[in-house]
Amino acid sequence: MAVYESAADAIGDTPLIRLATLGRDVTVPIYAKVEFLSVGGSVKDRAARAMIERAERDGSLRPGGTIVEATSGNTGIGLALVGRLRGYRVIVGIPDTSAKEKIDILKAYGAEVVIAASALPRQHPAHLFNVVRRLVDEIPGAWLANQYDNPANPDVHRRTTGPEIWAQTQGRITHFVAGIGTGGTISGAGGYLKDVSGAGVTVVGADPDASVYAGGDGSPYFVESIGHFLHPKTDEDVWPQSYHRDIVDRFERIPDRESLLTARRLAREEGLLAGPSSGTAVAAALRVARELGPDDLVVVLLPDSGRSYLSKLFNDDWLRQWGFLDEPSDSDHPEPLLRDVLDRIPGWTARLVTISSDATIGQAVAESPESLAAVPVILAREQRRHGVTASEILGSIEPAALSAAIAAGRIDPGATVVGHLAEPLPTIGIGIFLAEAQAALGDRAAALVLRDGRAIGLITRAELSAAAAEDFVVVTDPALHDVVHRSSQW
């Protein structure tokens, strides 16, 4: 057993563990590089220590200084672990979509946490990157770690992670699979493995389906710490310098549901409690392995621990609310799921109409069906391969009220619609129980139905009530329109 002088010395040297159960249907062995067994709980421990040490050497981080970083959590945790050990103040900016557990861990290590809105264009003053840069400008002796562009990030993986994998597999590795966040891990480790093998190792990028890295539309996704989100109002799409695109030979695009459920299988079938990005990587590794034979060997990197996502990934209620889980948790439960009654509601998917935030009031009224008393307004996005995520719904409009205001001269029809938004419609996941769906509506007469975090239809309270009373009546569209118009709350 190794003995260390400090926790920072215990970073890295993580084991490989064979995925014997998930990989039982393929002939190629799949080994997981279990980075969450690093002392700080993630692969980012390596980059954090390397960046601090380089900054100390070049004088940009001096005794008594302050470390500042923008992170989804893991790099901040590594910086807090190493930085506090060395006497630095650590301030971490984290997006408001990050799991609560990460914030709690950061505070436990002594970091100060600043939470910033995530759904903003990059040039917005309140964007996470701009918030932390202002902190660096305002705090004497502050140093920005800047993992996205810091060469110490990919370099440490070329020096440690890659060589560890090569030695652990005795040079037998043929395929390396990893997610891409800052790009440091896949660029450094993947680059080393390609070089040492004489280009004999194929490097595979595992990417959320909506991520820009692999060609997605840049819309929001639910896997933290990897991928590249692109706000449609961002002036310039800036990619990290830590990501060396030429290292990646191919991509596997993994939908959120597949990522999340694969991560849950890792815990239940392999005993590896890993985070959602590990689910993305393992799902990609399984796809790759199905193409290979027994002479190949796949290594997949698991970046962080599932303990940081207990309130999300491993919480059945959270998954159901967002529509990622739609199987009964108890087969004897007498109450139906929302999913179970939707096939008896005609037109609930066709009823989903959205208005772009770029629209004028006049356009919004003209494009809104007269039958709907409220229509969701969504963040504009020119190209959309995926459906609308709940986080992109900015609010709703009431076409009849706006039309009347235009006619009375109270509103300029050329004004933008975003200045006249009502509250967004409630959202309900396809996998929640029927009673929960009714309760979620509150005093609203309708709600948006989510599957995999994206709106797929609209359902009314009257329809849910009929289903709950087991007195479900299939109504015609005119009758449904009457129901919608009679509601004074929607």
Residue 180 CA, chain-centre distance (Å), reads: 12
Q: How would you label 473-486 residue by residue, b for 16+ Cβ within 10 Å and e otherwise?
A: eebeeeebbebbee
Catalytic-labelled residue, pool 44, 102, 194, 312: 44
Map residue 382 onto helix, strand or coil: coil
Which DSSP string corresponds to 51-76?
HHHHHHHHTSS-TT-EEEEE-SSHHH
Residue 351 to residues 123, 447, 460, Cα–Cα distance (Å)? 35, 11, 10
Task: Establish whether 44 is a catalytic residue.
Answer: yes
Dihedral over alpha carbons 217, 223, 228, 229 (to 10 degrees): 60
**H, E, C per residue of 341-377:** HHCCCCCCCCCCCCEECCCEHHHHHHHCCCCCCCEEE
- Comparing CA positions, the residue from 197, 240, 277 lying closest to residue 189 is 197
For residues 101 and 113, what is the distance between their CA atoms, to the nearest angstrom? 12
For residues 203 and 166, what is the distance between their CA atoms, to the nearest angstrom? 13
Q: Answer whether 301's CB lies under 8 Å from 281's CB.
A: yes
Q: Answer whether 74's CB lies under 8 Å from 11's CB.
A: no
- Which token pair is 154? 């990919």
Place of tokens 């967002």: 322
- Which token pair is 386? 């995926």
Residue type, 66: T
- Comparing CA positions, the residue from 129, 91, 128 lying closest to residue 113 is 91
For residues 198 and 78, what is the distance between their CA atoms, to the nearest angstrom? 33
- For residue 8, what are the contacts with CB-CB under 8 A and spacing of at least 6? 39, 49, 81, 82, 85
- Comparing CA positions, the residue from 169, 227, 229 lying closest to residue 196 is 169
Q: Which residues pair with 395 in a beta bridge?
A: 377
The DSSP code for 226 is: S
Which DSSP string corresponds to 440-486?
HHTT-SEEEEEETTEEEEEEEHHHHHHHHTT---PPPHHHHHHHHHH
Q: Which residues are catalytic?
A: 44
